[in-house]
Amino acid sequence: MTTEETISLFDKYVIGNYSRLRRVIVRGEGCYFFDADGNKILDMFPGWAVSGIGHCHPKVVEAIRKQAGELLHMDNTFYTEQQGQLAQMLSERAFGGKSFFCNSGAEANEAALKLARLYAGGGKYKFITAEGSFHGRTFATVTATAQPKYHEGFLPLLPGFAYVPFNDIKALESVFSDEVAAVMVEPIQGEGGINVATKEYLQAIRQLCDEKGAVMILDEVQTGMGRTGKWFAYQHFDVEPDIMTLAKALGGGVAIGAMMAKEELAAKLVPGKHASTFGGNCLACAAGIAVIEAIEEDNLLENAANMGRYAQEKLNELKQKHFIIDHVRGIGLMIGIQLKGPGKEIVEKCLEKGLRINCTHESVLRMMPAMIVTKEEIDQTVDIIDGVLSESGK
């Protein structure tokens, strides 16, 4: 099919709930993808952070091939080796505890909210989330998402949610009560603009939850699986959550989500309380195991930390040259460039020159490259952005 034939097919049969770029992508390899017209694109925002160790990592592809020949899916009426192994690997790299597997970040967060209420009990039903957050598109998670634009058309939302400014401890304290079941927060807000939580903020949440008997939920759907240079972003902040949610990079491109919970909370999720038909299927778990093995075998945590520092250094050099750049922020390979104006046109021009980045909140250029990214690829990225800003007189 030609590019136009594929797009015509979409126009006729696929619901148009996404803003799509008029390119048909046919192949991915490492930090690059290729379209049907033969163009090669350097991907610094791979699959919205899903392809965390690059497109079609050989180890993940091999694991999928092997598993596909043995058993694709088995319902959770039975035990499967792969699900248990992946849960053990996650537990040993996080805070212990147990995992519930599902298919996406929204599903993981939905499970976290349900478990928090189940555990808290005794009239504790309220949730606190932070302004600028993004927690998913299901009804509970879109309610948890403290951004009015995601609520439009869906009112009334679920009751029991309160929103407070991000990184504002006093605002948090002002709404905290004995009725709070949980606080849900991202250590680094991704969609919200790469806003990094302060250590004091996360530690204050931990303390308040402990004092009031509430649950601390960390949404690590974007930050998890090594992107920040540690397995999980919370490990930068000297805190430990009660519940943590994962998805995106966990399956290396295969759909999987996970909710991890400390033992005493996990014990509340007994049969009949929650489930996911496809959750923890053999193929997705085999991919997840391969992702973790690849990260360790190739020292990708170290590479993410080093390349993140290098990228921020190079981007800060651009700041000296282009007045539109206000500042650069982030941890590891979760990087935001705060502009003094809109960024959509910059993103579009970068794509024309063979670079994919993202713009969020209208004025934040967002990059979350794969953890295999090299200095040469970062240099290429910075050169393209530099060229686009120069041509635009910015």
Radius of gyration of the chain (CA): 21
Catalytic residue among 100, 101, 219, 262: 219
Q: Is 79 exposed, middle or buried (0-12, 13-18, 19+ CB in 10 A)?
A: exposed
Answer whether 125's CB lies under 8 Å from 177's CB: no
Cα distances (Å, whole numbers) of residue 224 to 57, 121, 332, 375: 18, 29, 11, 22
Catalytic residue among 45, 100, 127, 134: 134
Total residues belonging to the chain: 394
126 labelled catalytic: no
127 labelled catalytic: no
Catalytic residue among 124, 248, 262, 314: 248
Give the separation between CA 106 and CA 294, rounded to whole angstroms. 26
Angle formed by the axes of helices 300-321 and 282-297, nearest 10°: 70
Give the separation between CA 335 and CA 57, rounded to whole angstroms. 22
Phi, psi of 315 (to 5 degrees): -70, -35
248 labelled catalytic: yes
Q: Catalytic amino acids?
A: 134, 219, 248
